[in-house]
Amino acid sequence: MLKPLDPLLHSELRLAIVSILIGVEEADFVYIRTETGATAGNLSVQIDKLQKAGYIEVEKGFRGKMPRTVCRITHSGREAFAQYVETLKEYLKM
């Protein structure tokens, strides 16, 4: 019997966010929005879901007078992503 895929990561945009964060120390909201092509509203909602799940950390602040949101993947997020990839590999072996 196949393991279920993590429904949180199975969303295209959430998977894209985590995939970006796996490869960098941190990424700001503008960079993630540019890379994913997501709208600001949708991206904000998906980042919030990942944060509530403990997969990413979000730091809000300012750079000068401009608001800045920075995201970092957590240890739990790395583990969840690794498990998601392993589960996909099992699916592909069938």
Q: What is the pLDDT of residue 63?
A: 87
* Residue ranges per structural domain of the chain: 12-93
Say which residues have a Cβ less than 8 Å from residue 61's Cβ, sequence separation at least 6: 67, 68, 70
Give the tens place of pLDDT for each residue, 76-87. Answer: 999 999 999 999
Q: Rounded CA gap, 53 and 79, in Å?
A: 13
How confident is the model over 68-83, as a mean pLDDT? 97
Q: Rounded CA gap, 13 and 91, in Å?
A: 21
Residue with tokens 């950390």: 57
Give the tens place of pLDDT for each residue, 16-48. Answer: 999 999 999 999 999 999 999 999 999 999 999
User: What CATH number does the domain located at 12-93 have?
Assistant: 1.10.10.10
Whole-number percent of the chain with pLDDT over 90: 89
